[in-house]
A and B are shown apart, each in its own frame.
Chain A
Amino acid sequence: MKRDLQESWRGMILIFATYFYFLIFAQFAFLELLAASGDAELKPTMAIMALLGITGSLATPKLLATLGTRMLLAIALLVCSLSAVGAIVANHPWIFLALSGAIGAGLGVLTVTVTTSLRSFLSPSRWGLAIGLGTGLAYALANFPPIFTANPSTQAWLAAGLVLTGWPASIKKRELRGPRPTLKSDGRPFGPLVYLILVFLALVWLDSAAFFIIQHTPEMRGRSWGDAFLWRNAGIHFLFALLAGWLLEKRRMPVVTAGAFVILALASLCLNEPSSAVFGGWLYPAGVSLYSTALVAAPAFLMPGRHPAWVAAILYSTAGWFGSANGIGMADKLHHIPLPFLIIAGLIFLSPRLFPIFRHLRWSALVFLAVIATGFYELIQGEDVGTESRSAIDRGRAVYLSEGCINCHSRYVRPNTRDEILWGPVVSLDEIRDEAPVLIGNRRTGPDLLNVGNRRSRAWLRQHFINPQSLSPQSVMPPYAHLFAGEETRGEDLIDFLMTPGMRNLSERYQQIQNWEPEEATFADDGSDLFSRSCRSCHGKDGRGDGPLAGLWSRSPANLVDGPFPYSESPGRRKKLARIIKFGLPGTDMPGHEVLSHEELNALTNFVLSLRRDNRN
């Protein structure tokens, strides 16, 4: 055994150098340096790293054929080392972006090259233990308290130096030939290669999500990676990596991967609850070391295929980079690991056992079933518009979305256009963009609704929703009486939402109205038709305030024949009446008639005045 391990030292160092660099620098110190720089954006930088990581992985088979293993290893190790040094001195977001690309590409090439060539660097009889040692040492050293707690620059220097230890190790290699493994594919809908890629994808996804949650939850970080736990973590990592190596050597790959999944799934469930996070801290390093060792061994020793470089490239680009990016994305978005994800991942592991059961069913039927079942389940759950935990305004916004109001109404007043006089004061674009989703819309089949709260009263809006044509006889708007039926609260919530911004800028609206001057225009007719269309429902056919809807309002509509306003020939009177007709009386139930043309407005004003005049005569 001793001789076997002596034979394998080059491979062990290569694995150690690669893993240590990844753990302490790419996954850790680089992010700290990036955050410390202040200006650099985390997401694009990480996206570049992932993209070039995938590209580097997929390019490696071609590069191996062109440059050979030794040359490629030398280049990749050098790129990784220089990137780490560069990150220490970097001071501009663009430099960080370039460095993240170099780290991604360098690591992509390095991992695929190392794992592809392990059969040339390791003893054929003790390869598993050697991989376990290399992986375990890297994890243990990364968790070694003085290193783990060092500042990011020190960690970067250390990574830059230690990754270069792989260089002398790569100088000499021997060609070892032996049969490549084969795996049975009985009963599976896909080959063993695809199965193993899916297995590792699930494991990396899970690991990355758990890692992100621990890293970004101070309480959990304290309970899992606090100073008191670092020695423990280092020990667990080392022991489980050795255990994994030993099991892999015995061809117990399913035990290793399934064991890693069960442990990581339990750790994830523990991490979802702060009270049980402490158990997650014990389980997480064990699960990670188990599968990480298998991931290193897979391309050269465990997976079938005539082209190990391509196998490694696809495995690391798919399971490694893709899985890790998705895991981080999922944790970032949800802040926990959802149970359905664990169930789906579990089904992947069980698929060799499960799929023979379904072999007589068409695959497509299963997929349809899954998609439809999920969709219908959600539909059956019902709309959560009425959730009590939200404010009435938020619930009202949900109703606005749900009913598709945005398809006919805008919520944006264009500055310095006639919009301002028609639809009310401007609200800044920044303020509007604060809403999620933004409800600017792109059509005005109906009026703009941003300031409807200072143009219409609650009672008017309610009546208009219940029966639009009762107030606007020619309107094509459908009725929404169902939003107000029985115990329904959706209608009132919607009104709450619509009233809000308008009520805030009521004084600005008053000012706009005061600044408005009617224009002289030729009268189209005597205004009686307009009166009949726009005023009769409230003011009655004779203008005496006794229309069919008169009883709905907080105050009875004005009797335009007998008062309330005294008749006078003062020059301001006509203007004042025109203002009331056009803009209504904000704060009361009297609505405006903003879309009337100058001609129509003049005609209607004259008609209303004539009602009083006729009476006087």
Chain B
Amino acid sequence: METEPTENDPVVGAVRHALFWLVAGNSVGLFLALMLVLPVVGLPLGEATYGRWVPLHLNWQLYGWTALPLVAWVLGLFPECRRRLAPWAVMGVRSWSVILGLGGLYWLNGRTSGKIFLDWTGSLRILFPLVILNLWAVLIAAWALGKNRSVPAVVGLLILGCVPYSLYFASDPAVYPPADPSTGGPTGASLLNSTLSVVCLFLLLPRSLGLCRNFSSMEKLLWLVFIGAIILGLLANRLPLSHDHPGQIAALATLGFWPPLIACWYYCLKWRGPSKLWRRALFFWFGLLTLHGIIAYLPGILDQFKFTNALVAHSHLAMAGFTSSFVIFLIQQVVPQHLARTFNHRVSFWTWQAATLVYIVVMTIAGFQEARSAGFTVSPGATYFVLSSLRLLCGLAMFASSLHWWRTFSHPQ
């Protein structure tokens, strides 16, 4: 997978774009946090009010910062993407960013589907899947030109070919997943199934990077457990949807096995480059996220936390803590080592981690306050402004870290 980095290396390019969207998403997040403390700062922007800015923050983080490193990973798996097909792959990555930029204009103009995290409407609902399809075509071409004709590669390509359709389908305003009638939120089974897709990435990563030549007993065990969990998820779909049902709770609680199991396996593998720091962070956040998720789902707790800042804390733990650590760890595996070191800068690393943790604590406290009294946010008082100001400061720290990564990655010494 290792090739000399060039200006036209699509893998490095995709990471650079991802970092740009991290900075952009964080800037918007910072602005949103500021508007909650000082609403007056939003007034000069006219119709571009708070509600119109939120999709920019959410979608740029998801489709920019989180998705583009996965694109980099997949492009890196097919060497021809970095050779003969490099211009096409680079074009695909740039088109992706163009769509995200256009998306920003759409959302600020009030063109939205109303589907949080699936806010692709109008032409964008077709253009974005087409851009993904274009990248898929590059992968197919790279596969055809290359030597990797293995069955997993073909299966992987077939699955990736479904992504544009899934996105188009899921963005349909008429499509809505099963919901728990007692909370209006997702069911335990759907949370389990979506988390298992992340687990699947964990399981695929080492083999795709060539770190496992043979199937070790540990790897076999993990895949067996994974298949068992998938079956469990399917069975849980047939249970009553309420989070009060013991079956739904038990199904979700099985996620608790994954962080220690995968951490043990990853510990035994020989990873590329200087990724130890982020690997530790990754499993810290993965463990905390799983624990937080299971506890927050319990009856009595979810009833209190639903719709409050405590679930914002959970989302932040998922995105800034877990996902960002996973993404950076992944990036460190696919880019040249001198670029991978960008993320190991001690100050930016610890600033990010500390700010994420404080943010989670602050929002959990705010969630508790909201659970006690709905007036905490509807008619906010001094505590609300103190906590919101702390959140703003955390956001500022995270923005600074992301800016540092983007600048040093884009202009390595």
The docked-state distance in angstroms from the alpha carbon of A441 to that of B185 is: 9
With an 8 A cutoff between CB atoms, is B131 at the interface? yes
With an 8 A cutoff between CB atoms, is B232 at the interface? no
**Do the beta carbons of B373 and A378 come within 8 Å of each other?**
no
Question: Which of B54, B95, B173 is close to A371, meaning CB atoms less than 8 Å apart?
Answer: B95
**Do the beta carbons of A379 and B106 come within 8 Å of each other?**
yes
**Do the beta carbons of B116 and A412 come within 8 Å of each other?**
no
With an 8 A cutoff between CB atoms, is A361 at the interface? no
The docked-state distance in angstroms from the alpha carbon of A543 to that of B116 is: 44
With A412-B184, A414-B303: A476-B176 Cβ-Cβ less than 8 Å: no
> Interface-forming stretch among B122-130, B199-207, B219-227, B274-282?
B122-130
**Do the beta carbons of B105 and A375 come within 8 Å of each other?**
yes
The docked-state distance in angstroms from the alpha carbon of A482 to that of B183 is: 34
The docked-state distance in angstroms from the alpha carbon of A363 to that of B47 is: 36
**Do the beta carbons of A402 and B112 come within 8 Å of each other?**
yes
Interface string of B26-39 (1 = CB under 8 A from A): 00000000011001
Residues of B within 8 A of A407 (CB): 50-51, 54-55, 116
**Do the beta carbons of B114 and A437 come within 8 Å of each other?**
yes
With A375-B106, A444-B307: A55-B158 Cβ-Cβ less than 8 Å: yes
User: How many positions in chain A have a CB within 8 Å of any CB in the partner chain?
Assistant: 68
Of all chain A residues, the one with the shortest Cβ separation from B32 is: A407
With an 8 A cutoff between CB atoms, is B181 at the interface? yes
With an 8 A cutoff between CB atoms, is B182 at the interface? yes
Interface string of B308-327 (1 = CB under 8 A from A): 10011000000000000000
Residues of B within 8 A of A95 (CB): none
Residues of A within 8 A of B55 (CB): 404, 407
**Do the beta carbons of B110 and A403 come within 8 Å of each other?**
yes
With A442-B311, A443-B312, A478-B42: A410-B184 Cβ-Cβ less than 8 Å: yes
Of all chain B residues, the one with the shortest Cβ separation from A59 is: B154
**Do the beta carbons of B179 and A476 come within 8 Å of each other?**
no
With an 8 A cutoff between CB atoms, is B272 at the interface? no
The docked-state distance in angstroms from the alpha carbon of A440 to that of B185 is: 8
Among B106, B154, B378, the most chain A Cβ lie within 10 Å of the Cβ of B378
Q: How many A-B residue pairs have CB under 8 A?
A: 172
**Do the beta carbons of B378 and A595 come within 8 Å of each other?**
yes
The docked-state distance in angstroms from the alpha carbon of A486 to that of B39 is: 25
With an 8 A cutoff between CB atoms, is A597 at the interface? yes
CB distance from B308 to the nearest CB of A (A): 7
**Do the beta carbons of B373 and A414 come within 8 Å of each other?**
no
**Do the beta carbons of B35 and A415 come within 8 Å of each other?**
no
CB distance from A49 to the nearest CB of B (A): 15
CB distance from A405 to the nearest CB of B (A): 6
**Do the beta carbons of A364 and B182 come within 8 Å of each other?**
no
The docked-state distance in angstroms from the alpha carbon of A452 to that of B339 is: 54
With an 8 A cutoff between CB atoms, is A526 at the interface? no
With A372-B98, A429-B179, A429-B184: A401-B113 Cβ-Cβ less than 8 Å: yes
Identify which of residues 447-494 in chain A touch chain B, using a CB-to-CB cut-off of 8 Å.
447-448, 472, 474-480, 482
Of all chain A residues, the one with the shortest Cβ separation from B107 is: A404
The docked-state distance in angstroms from the alpha carbon of A477 to that of B377 is: 11
The docked-state distance in angstroms from the alpha carbon of A260 to that of B303 is: 62
**Do the beta carbons of A472 and B379 come within 8 Å of each other?**
yes
The docked-state distance in angstroms from the alpha carbon of A479 to that of B111 is: 19
The docked-state distance in angstroms from the alpha carbon of A440 to that of B176 is: 11
**Do the beta carbons of B112 and A404 come within 8 Å of each other?**
yes
Question: Which of B47, B109, B307 is close to A379, meaning CB atoms less than 8 Å apart?
Answer: B109
Question: Which of A51, A400, A596 is close to B375, meaning CB atoms less than 8 Å apart?
Answer: A596
Identify which of residues 82-125 in chain B touch chain A, using a CB-to-CB cut-off of 8 Å.
87-88, 90-91, 94-95, 98-99, 102, 105-107, 109-116, 122-124
With an 8 A cutoff between CB atoms, is B43 at the interface? yes
**Do the beta carbons of A367 and B106 come within 8 Å of each other?**
no
**Do the beta carbons of B123 and A375 come within 8 Å of each other?**
yes
The docked-state distance in angstroms from the alpha carbon of A416 to that of B181 is: 11
**Do the beta carbons of B377 and A446 come within 8 Å of each other?**
yes
Interface SS majority for chain A? loop
Residues of B within 8 A of A375 (CB): 102, 105-106, 123-124, 127
Identify which of residues 360-386 in chain B touch chain A, using a CB-to-CB cut-off of 8 Å.
370, 373-375, 377-381
With A476-B36, A478-B50: A402-B110 Cβ-Cβ less than 8 Å: yes
**Do the beta carbons of A440 and B184 come within 8 Å of each other?**
yes
With an 8 A cutoff between CB atoms, is A406 at the interface? yes
**Do the beta carbons of B379 and A475 come within 8 Å of each other?**
yes
**Do the beta carbons of A476 and B307 come within 8 Å of each other?**
no
Among B55, B107, B307, B370, the most chain A Cβ lie within 10 Å of the Cβ of B307
With an 8 A cutoff between CB atoms, is A445 at the interface? yes
With A407-B51, A422-B374, A595-B374: A442-B185 Cβ-Cβ less than 8 Å: yes
**Do the beta carbons of A474 and B380 come within 8 Å of each other?**
yes
With an 8 A cutoff between CB atoms, is B269 at the interface? no
The docked-state distance in angstroms from the alpha carbon of A416 to that of B174 is: 28
CB distance from B76 to the nearest CB of A (A): 20
The docked-state distance in angstroms from the alpha carbon of A565 to that of B311 is: 45
Identify which of residues 221-248 in chain B touch chain A, using a CB-to-CB cut-off of 8 Å.
none
Interface string of B153-177 (1 = CB under 8 A from A): 0100010000000000000011010
Residues of A within 8 A of B107 (CB): 404
With an 8 A cutoff between CB atoms, is A302 at the interface? no
Of all chain B residues, the one with the shortest Cβ separation from A385 is: B110
With A367-B91, A375-B105, A476-B35: A414-B184 Cβ-Cβ less than 8 Å: yes
With an 8 A cutoff between CB atoms, is A504 at the interface? no
With an 8 A cutoff between CB atoms, is B52 at the interface? yes
Question: Which of B46, B99, B124, B182 is close to A415, meaning CB atoms less than 8 Å apart?
Answer: B182
B interface residues, Cβ below 8 angstroms from A: 35-36, 39, 42-43, 46-47, 49-55, 87-88, 90-91, 94-95, 98-99, 102, 105-107, 109-116, 122-124, 127, 131, 134, 144, 154, 158, 173-174, 176, 179, 181-185, 303, 306-308, 311-312, 370, 373-375, 377-381
Q: List 18 A-B contacts (CB under 8 A).
A: A58-B154, A372-B98, A383-B111, A402-B111, A403-B49, A403-B51, A404-B52, A414-B184, A428-B181, A433-B176, A439-B114, A441-B116, A442-B307, A443-B307, A443-B312, A478-B43, A594-B374, A595-B374
- A58-B154, A383-B109, A406-B51 are known; give 13 further A-B pairs, CB within 8 A: A367-B134, A375-B123, A385-B110, A404-B50, A414-B182, A414-B303, A433-B176, A436-B173, A444-B307, A445-B36, A474-B380, A476-B36, A478-B35
Interchain residue pairs A-B with the least CB separation, the first 5: A404-B51, A595-B375, A402-B110, A437-B173, A412-B184
